[in-house]
Structure 1
Amino acid sequence: MAGKSDKEILANSMYEDDPNGNSAPATTKDQESDQRQEVLKATNVTPPSAAPRWGPQNKGAQELASLYSPGKRAQEIICVYTCIGLMIINLILIVRHMRLERISVAIVSALCGIITADFASGLVHWAADTWGSVDLPLIGRNFLRPFREHHLDPTSITRHDFIETNGDNFMVGIPILGYLAHYFYIRSPSEIQLHFGWIAYVFLCSIFVAMTNQIHKWSHTYWGLPRWVLLLQSCHIILPRKHHRIHHVAPHETYFCITTGWLNWPLERIRFWSTFELVIEHFTGLKPRDDDMKWAKKLT
C-alpha cells in the first residue's frame, strides 16, 4: 500500500461518509462516524480538528468551485456528444469487420489498451496534481482547477453530472477516435484485418481513457451504485473505492492511476513518480504540489 498503513490513511484522509452528507444515508453515516471515532481512539490517533479541512465548507474548495464557467460547460457539452458519436461509429465499424480468427488477437490488444489507459490516467493525474497553478492562463482555471478542488472536497465529484464529470476525458478521446474512424474509411478490408489487433488496442484504450473520470467518480460513491459497477470494482476490473482512498492521504503523493489502478503498486515499488519529481525539482527548482498545498491552507 505504498508505505501507507491503515492508521495513516484513517488519520490523514477525509472519511467520505461525513462532511458532504451525500455519500451515505444518514443512519449509515452516523454508524460509520461512530466506528471511525472508536478506531481513532484504539489506535491513539488524534481526531481531525473542527476546522473544515476537507469538504464543501472549505474556503479553498468553495472558491475553486466558483471558477467553473459557462464557457467551460459549453466545451464539455460539445466534447461529450462528439465523443459519444465517434464511439458509436467506431463500434459499428469494428463489429462489421470482426472475424472469429481475430478474437484472440483483439482480446490481447484490448488488454494492452486498458493498461495503457491506466498509465495515461496516472501520468495526467500526477502532472496536474503536482505541477502548475490555477493562475496559469487557459489551462489553470479550465483544467487544473478541478484537480485542486477534488483534493479539498473529494466527493464533490459525486455531485457533478455526467457532462461535468466526463467532459475533459471525452475531449481527449475525440482525436483518437476520429483518426480511427478515418482509418476505417481509407483502408481496404484486407488492410483492416491485417491491423485488427492495433485497431482493438486503440479503440479500447480510447474508451477507457474517456471513461476514466466516470470510473473515478464511482470510486468516491459509497451508496446507490449499480450492482454491475460494484462487481467490476470488487474484481478490480475498474478502480476500487478502498484502493483509490490511498491517493487521498495528504499530501496526495501516491497511487495516481485511476482507470483500473493496476499499475499503482508496481509504479510505487520502483518509485516512478517520486524519482521524476526529484529530477524536475533539481533542474527547475519547482516544488511538487506547491499550488495544491496553497489551496489546502485556505481553511476558513
Structure 2
Amino acid sequence: AAVTGAAVAAASPGSAPRAARRTPQPVLTLPGDTLESTPGMAGYVAAWTAVTLAVLGRSLAAAPAGAAAGIACGMLMAELFSGIFHWATDNYGSIETPVVGFACAAFQGHHLAPWTISFRPFANNVFKIARAGLPLTGLAAALLPAPLAAFAATTFYGQMWAQEFHRWSHTKRLAPWQRALQRCGVAISTADHCRHHKPPFSTHYCILSGGLNPVLDSKPVLFWRRLERFFYQATGIEPNCWKGDKGAPVRQQALGL
C-alpha cells in the first residue's frame, strides 16, 4: 500500500506547502494497486472494444430493428446497472468477499480518498471491467439471439464508460469535449456525482450519465431504500449507509416503507 503526500500533510499540517494541501496526492491501499497503465491493460480494453463492436455489427446485420432496440434498452440498463453495482459494493462486502471483494474494497475506500481516481490513466482505470466483460460479451454472442446479444453487449460495455465518466467527475481539468459531454448529459457531471460523496453515501449511485438518479432517489420510488429493506429482511445484514448517526434516518426511511 502506498500512502503519499496526503498522509504527510495530515501528520504535519503546519509544515505542508499550501499548494500540497489544495491538491492531495493519490492514496493507494489495495494489494497490487498501481497508477500505471501497462500494455496488458490496454490489450484487455482494445480486445473488449473489438469484440463488442463485432457483436453489435453482427446483431444489427442479423436483426436490424431488434438489435437497434436491444442497443437502446442496453444503454438504459447500463445506467441502471452502474447504480446497482455501485450501491452493492458501497454497502456490502469487503476485500474478503469472493469474486467481487476487490471491487467492494475499492468502492468503499474511494470515499476516503476520492481524488485518487483522477490520477488514473484510461486503461488503468477500466481494465478490470474489460477483463470481466470480455468473456461475458463472448458468451452473450454465443448463446443469445441477436437482439439480446446486442442488449447484453451494450449493457456490459457501458460499465467501462461508467467507470471512466466516474473518473471525469473527479477530475478538475478536462478537455472541452469532455465537459461538453457532461453538460449534455451523456457523462455524469461533477455536480451530480458530488451529491453522492456526502455521508452516509446513500444516494446518486448511477455513474454513467446520472440520468436515473433523480428517479431512483425520490419518492415514491426510493429504489435503494426498498432494496436495502428487502436484503435486510432476507439476510439480517444492514448496509453501510444505515450505520452511524448520519445513517440512522436512512435506516428509518427504509424500514418504514
TM-score (ref. length: structure 2)? 0.71
1:152-191 pair list within 5 angstroms:
152-180=112-140, 182=142
- Secondary structure of 2:208's counterpart equals coil
* Alignment match of 1:235 (pick from 184, 189, 207): 184
Counterpart residue number, 1:203: 153
CA RMSD of aligned residues (A): 3.5
Aligned-residue offset at 1:148: 2.0
| Residue 67 of structure 1, CA deviation | 2.5
Structure 1 residue 265 corresponds to structure 2 residue 214: yes
Which shows bigger deviation, 272-281 or 175-184? 175-184
Q: Match of 2:203?
A: 254
Instruction: Name the aligned partner's letter for residue 217 of structure 1.
Output: R
1: CA distance, partners of 2:60 / 2:81: 27
2:69 alignment counterpart? 108
Residues 172 and 210 of structure 1 are in contact (CA less than 8 Å); yes or no, is this contact kept in structure 2? Answer: no
Higher relative contact order (CA 8 A, sep 6+): 1
Aligned residues: 223
Aligned AA (2:227): F
Matches within 5 A, 1:86-97: 86-92=48-54, 94-95=56-57
Larger-Rg structure: 1
User: Given that residues 219 and 240 in structure 1 are in contact (C-alpha distance below 8 angstroms), is that contact kept between their aligned partners in structure 2?
Assistant: yes
Residues 250 and 264 of structure 1, relative CA distance in 2, 3 Å threshold: same
| CA separation of 1:106 and 1:20: change in aligned 2, threshold 3 A | farther
Distance, in Å, in 1 between the alignment partners of 2:151 and 2:241 is 37
2 CA distance for matches of 1:291 and 1:83? Answer: 36
For structure 1, the residue ranges without an aligned partner over 5 or more in a row are: 1-17, 23-54, 185-194, 294-300
Structure 1 equivalent of residue 253 of structure 2: none
Cα deviation digits, residues 215-267 of structure 1 (max 9, x gap): 110111122x2222222111112212211111111110011111121221111
Partner of 1:289: 240
> Structure 1 136/290 Cα, relative in aligned 2: closer, same or farther at 3 Å?
farther
Q: 1:149 corresponds to which residue?
A: 109
Q: CA–CA distance in 2 between the matches of 1:146 and 1:264?
A: 22
Percent pairwise identity: 25
Quick one: structure 1 residues 126 and 89, their matched pair in 2 at CA, closer, same or farther if it must change by over 3 Å?
Answer: closer
Q: In structure 1, what is the Cα distance between the partners aligned to 2:50 and 2:39?
A: 17
Displacement after TM superposition at 1:205 (Å)? 2.0
Q: Give deviations 1:130-182, integer Å, cap 9, x for gaps.
A: 11234546643x22221122111111100122343112322331123222554
Structure-to-structure mapping, 1:2-151, within 5 angstroms: 21-22=22-23, 62=27, 65-69=28-32, 78=40, 81-92=43-54, 94-95=56-57, 98=60, 102=64, 105-136=66-97, 139-140=100-101, 142-151=102-111
User: Cα deviation per residue 1:13-37 (whole Å; 9 max; x = unaligned)?
Assistant: xxxxx98645xxxxxxxxxxxxxxx
**Distance change >3 Å, CA 206–CA 135, structure 1 → 2:** closer
Q: Helix, strand or coil: the match of 2:195?
A: helix
